[in-house]
Structure 1
Amino acid sequence: MSDSLMANNLTNQTDIAVVGAGIIGVACALQLARQGRRVVIIDQQAPGMGASFGNAGHLATEQVFPIADGSILKRLPGMLMDPMGPLRLDWKYLPRALPWFMRLLLNLRPAPYQRTVTGIRALNETSLGAWQRLLQSISRPELLKEDGSLLVFERHASYAAIQALQARMRQQQVPVELWSAQGVQAMAPQLSEQIKGGLFFAQTGHFIDPYQLVCELMEAAKAHGVQFFRQRVEDAQLTEHGVSLQTDQGCLNASQVLIACGAHSARLTHALTGKKVPLDTERGYHLMLPHEHERLPFAVTSLERKFIMTPMAAGLRLAGTVEFAGLDRPPNMARAWQLHRLSQGLFRRDLNAESATPWMGFRPSLPDSLPIIDRVCAGKVLLAFGHQHLGLTQAAVTAELIAQMASPHRAASHGLPALPPYRLDRF
């Protein structure tokens, strides 16, 4: 049966339509189906083939600060001029990006900045436990390695910055240890002797294959009756009994809709709520090295070089650059290959880039660095998008929050964070 015919047959049988088959949409669909809801997922790509396919794989519970700080103004000329810099703004995209950047700067004032830190921290503090519960529920806890992560530095001049960051982390109750050069060498002996030390974050970890993770959750969701339609949602409107979605293959009606399509969520949110969300995309790149399986015991980030290296089942993934160029411009894969050049000198022996594969994806980012997690339009519309660099980290706890909101009479559990910081009406 075609997707179109299936959608038409389900017109009056769907409780919740989830738009988006990334890690957040699939995790939410699974939790909703476990409540006995009839759930469908709609996406123009196969599950896990968007940003969830190529993220860094890092469970980044330590990252409780916004995506930018006040120094971004000083860095703006470099962002425009250096196509290979760690933070890149395409000058052709500058007119469209400026309003977003202005809102970003306004959110760096003390009061909104502290609200952001409080909001990120509330989600991150519950993220590890939520992932443990979710992976245990599908009998795949081995997909997450709870072995911590390390931020290294190479210059003596960086020591003061490392100490300051450690103090800020401790102020936010983030577990952190300062390691000496000898400590780094003992735990990651293949790293270069030029590394002067680092910060170790024990309550973090990494996923051995982010794409496999989505696929495993999708299989569990299907076992609970969730169906997947590969369609493009072109429009949406509220109806007397719920929501009507117009796709490229027909119409699907549901009692509720969950918008969880990442960087593509603004248009549908506006169509259903009338709210213009200031959502932009940070284009992230990775380079996958298939011949590097034994270099690192855990994820390692470089303070000076500003990228992360994560050991995975398929090799070593280098990731971490940010590019503001919108959804339409073609990827600049030279940025992905630049990651291999950045790695040179971090190891005793340079990494093997033979058969390496580059990738680019879209991170959905809001100017206050917080996601939208909400229930609006008399409960007909659920929202879960805008998690910026923390979509993977916060996916499991977001799914628990969405499941709670979909059934508002259910008692809260697991110490989930309160919702006001993530509501749509803050914009």
Structure 2
Amino acid sequence: MVREKYWKMPDNVASNSPHEGADIAVVGAGIIGVACALQLARQGLRVVVIDQQEPGQGASFGNAGHLATEQVFPIADVSILKRLPAMLMDPMGPLRLDWKYMPRALPWFTRLLLNLRPEPYQRTVAGIRALNESSLAAWYRLLEGMDCPGLMKEDGSLLVYERPESRQALEALQTRMRQQQVPVDFWQAGAVRETAPQLSEQIQGGLFFPATGHFIDPYRVVCELVKAAKTCGVQFLKRQVMGGQLNDAGVSLVTDQGRVTARRVLIACGAHSAKLTAALTGKKVPLDTERGYHLMLPHEHGRLPFAVTSLERKFIMTPMAEGLRLAGTVEFAGLEAPPSMERAWQLHRLSKGLFSRDLSAEGATPWMGFRPSLPDSLPIIDRVCHGKVLLAFGHQHLGLTQAAVTAELIAQLAAPTTSGSPHELPALQPYRLDRF
């Protein structure tokens, strides 16, 4: 992660970096930044990646691993107004707003509610869908030539329901998804038990999404991309980025170990992107963070054939190389508040009754990370400041899903053949910085 407090770089800061003159400095070594770095290097650009942590140690380390191409709708809908009291009062609820953080979150939530009006809502759905529809194919292209067989599983995912009265809501969701051309099949209880026999008999059925998948180790995905990027000449610097300034030659970034200069910069540091964006572009971005939790169960191999989500319990279970990962919940409490790991352990309690035999929590490890979220649920993917600043952040809970296609779009923006303004690229219209 990068330091949260930025300042304008003094003109007289000395440089002690041997990394002068890179074509692009990528700030952020999560899945988005590393994927972009690799794609840019494959185009022949000289790339340096800067992050205060080792690659993949932020939100990319602990995501659910689900390639969620089916999730074309924003995480919130108009029912959020009715749920607000519960969000404030229930510390273990699936969607929580820390009451102490509410004054800071209120402007963001106001924007979110305005984006739930019909016209902006449909723009959001179209924007998410456009990225998701291209995401799996982009992942295959990004991983091409890399020696990591079996890391990516395109075997679908399942949304199950337990209460008979939930069937109507599930069928309504199926109709909405089909209207958006999302491949989806309704499974009766028998089909669920045949495919996932360890699930409880109280499962009534579910929706199966054949055009989805998962990674068996999200952190290893980042590591494999880093290895491929280094082979292409990408340099990785473990430094804090504390400020920056544009100049005639490009950009100068102040780090805790001196200055790094490049012709261009790509800001891809997730939930920490807003202040550096403001420092370099003068644009204040309404970026907040959905704090997500997971609980890794190392003794639970073979329970599920693919990712399974509970409609009523609102969390996901993904089979991974190291066990079964329970993930989910959304918490709005900002970047400064300490994690509430009890929310991670709550995921194990939520799993009780979903299997014929309860999951073992022996040796389980909890985790919390920051999902970068904008109030219209779309990322910023853009080129500004006469091409000197590229932007790729705000992917909320779809960062893993959309990383490879985002890398291709950033590479398109960075290509020498891309003339004039990014406004000439119609595919990028929904993701431009100037929508805020």
- TM-score, length basis structure 1: 0.96
2-structure distance, mates of 1:111, 1:139? 45
Secondary structure of the structure 2 residue equivalent to 1:66: coil
Deviations 1:22-69 (A, max 9, x none): 000000000111111111000011000000000000000000001100
2:212 maps to what in 1?
204
Residues 263 and 281 of structure 1 are in contact (CA less than 8 Å); yes or no, is this contact kept in structure 2? yes
The reply to whether residue 27 of structure 1 matches residue 35 of structure 2 is: yes
Residues 135 and 141 of structure 1 are in contact (CA less than 8 Å); yes or no, is this contact kept in structure 2? no
Residues 251 and 261 of structure 2 are in contact (CA less than 8 Å); yes or no, is this contact kept in structure 1? yes
2:338 maps to what in 1?
330
Secondary structure of the structure 2 residue equivalent to 1:147: coil
2-structure distance, mates of 1:132, 1:253? 33
Deviations 1:328-351 (A, max 9, x none): 000000000000000000000000
Runs (4 or more) in structure 1 with deviation over 6 Å come to none
Q: Which among 96, 105, 110 is matched to residue 113 of structure 2?
A: 105
Q: CA deviation at 1:9?
A: 1.5
Q: Which among 423, 427, 432 is matched to residue 418 of structure 1?
A: 427
The reply to whether residue 151 of structure 1 matches residue 159 of structure 2 is: yes
Secondary structure of the structure 2 residue equivalent to 1:80: helix
1-structure distance, mates of 2:149, 2:182? 23
1:126 maps to what in 2?
134
Secondary structure of the structure 1 residue equivalent to 2:273: helix
Residues 123 and 417 of structure 1 are in contact (CA less than 8 Å); yes or no, is this contact kept in structure 2? no
Q: CA deviation at 1:417?
A: 7.5
Identity of aligned residues (%): 79
Secondary structure of the structure 2 residue equivalent to 1:373: strand
Structure 1 portions without partners, runs of 5+ = none
2-structure distance, mates of 1:202, 1:417? 29
Q: CA deviation at 1:140?
A: 2.5
Structure 2 portions without partners, runs of 5+ = 1-13, 420-424
Q: CA deviation at 1:138?
A: 1.8
Counterpart mapping for 1:368-379 below 5 A: 368-379=376-387
Moved more, 139-148 or 359-368: 139-148
- TM-score, length basis structure 2: 0.94
The reply to whether residue 50 of structure 1 matches residue 93 of structure 2 is: no
Q: CA deviation at 1:408?
A: 5.0
Counterpart mapping for 1:18-417 below 5 A: 18-407=26-415, 409=417
Q: Report the AA paired with residue 351 of structure 1.
A: L
1-structure distance, mates of 2:193, 2:250? 58
Q: Which among 17, 20, 45 is matched to residue 8 of structure 1?
A: 17
Secondary structure of the structure 2 residue equivalent to 1:9: coil
1-structure distance, mates of 2:306, 2:176? 23
Secondary structure of the structure 2 residue equivalent to 1:74: helix
Q: CA deviation at 1:141?
A: 4.5
Q: CA deviation at 1:137?
A: 3.2
Residues 21 and 48 of structure 1 are in contact (CA less than 8 Å); yes or no, is this contact kept in structure 2? yes
Secondary structure of the structure 2 residue equivalent to 1:283: strand
Secondary structure of the structure 1 residue equivalent to 2:144: helix
Residues 147 and 204 of structure 1 are in contact (CA less than 8 Å); yes or no, is this contact kept in structure 2? yes
Distance 1:7 1:225, change over 3 A: farther
Residues 122 and 417 of structure 1 are in contact (CA less than 8 Å); yes or no, is this contact kept in structure 2? no
Residues 15 and 260 of structure 2 are in contact (CA less than 8 Å); yes or no, is this contact kept in structure 1? no
2:5 maps to what in 1?
none
Q: CA deviation at 1:139?
A: 3.5
Deviations 1:338-383 (A, max 9, x none): 0000000000000010000000000000000000000000100000
* Alignment: residue pair count: 418
Q: Report the AA paired with residue 139 of structure 2.
A: W
Superposed CA RMSD: 1.3
